[in-house]
Amino acid sequence: MSHLKILQSYAKRSPESFPASILFGHSAKNITIFDGFPKSKFHFLVLPRASETDLSLSDLGSLHALLKADKSKAKEVVAALADDARGVRGDIEREMVKHYGFKWDVWTGFHAAPSMVHLHLHVLSADLCSDKLKHKKHYNSFHPKLGFFLHLDDVLSWFDAEPTYYEHMVSMKKLHLLIVLKEGLTCFHCYKEMKNIPILKDHLQEEWDKLATKASRKRKRKGESADVAVPEEKGLSDQEKTLKRAKSEATENVEA
């Protein structure tokens, strides 16, 4: 099976068939999985289950395909994704506090021209600090201001906008969107331009370290402990820590 269609295959499977290394959670309408190549400290995908809608797989192929289908059904799908994404966001924020003692932003949105088949909503921490972020197109596809990353709240607002605006957003040209991925590298924190990805990644880490240091000082002023990491999990990435707990919980459920 083509890697580009792996999400579509997931959408057709029952939640019970997934290993804990893939499935994070599910609801009646959606499944939530770990992003296999996380671009931030925390990164998940929420997908509509193919069996829980009368829309075709083609209609669920992407956000663009969905919006071209029945508008009321499209709104139901996006609203259901939003409901589950709120829960995932809460899970991420709890993990942030557990391991770092503070919360930072969480982004929720779609890629305007995704590379993989089947609608999927990204829920990721707003840091873009990951060893899986290796190319300009990776970074620019999640930059919150360039327009390729479509924020969920903006997409939801399209359904209540004037019909002409909705139609305009549905007819977005893919070629124009792909050009965005070739834009220069600009820090989403301070908008400083960077020469290349290695320099950008070092800068993003420095920006996140500033947030962590500020939060640590704030905890100290309040008399709280600055050491919030779980000792046996030190050295693991945040995605690995969450996955480790998911596997542990799955084992406990089986034994129960």
- Tell me which residues are annotated as active site: 120
Distance CA 239, CA 147 (A): 26
Amino acid letter for position 181: L
Query: Cα torsion for 191, 194, 196, 199, to the nearest 10°?
Result: -100
C-beta separation of 129 from 105 below 8 A = no
Determine phi and psi for 193, rounding to 5 degrees.
-80, 140
Place of tokens 């400290």: 41
C-beta separation of 98 from 75 below 8 A = no
Distance CA 206, CA 187 (A): 11
The count of other CB atoms within 10 Å of the CB of residue 85 is: 21
C-beta separation of 104 from 126 below 8 A = yes
Checking DSSP bridges between strand 121-125 and strand 30-34, what pairing results, if any? unpaired
Q: How many residues comprise the chain?
A: 256
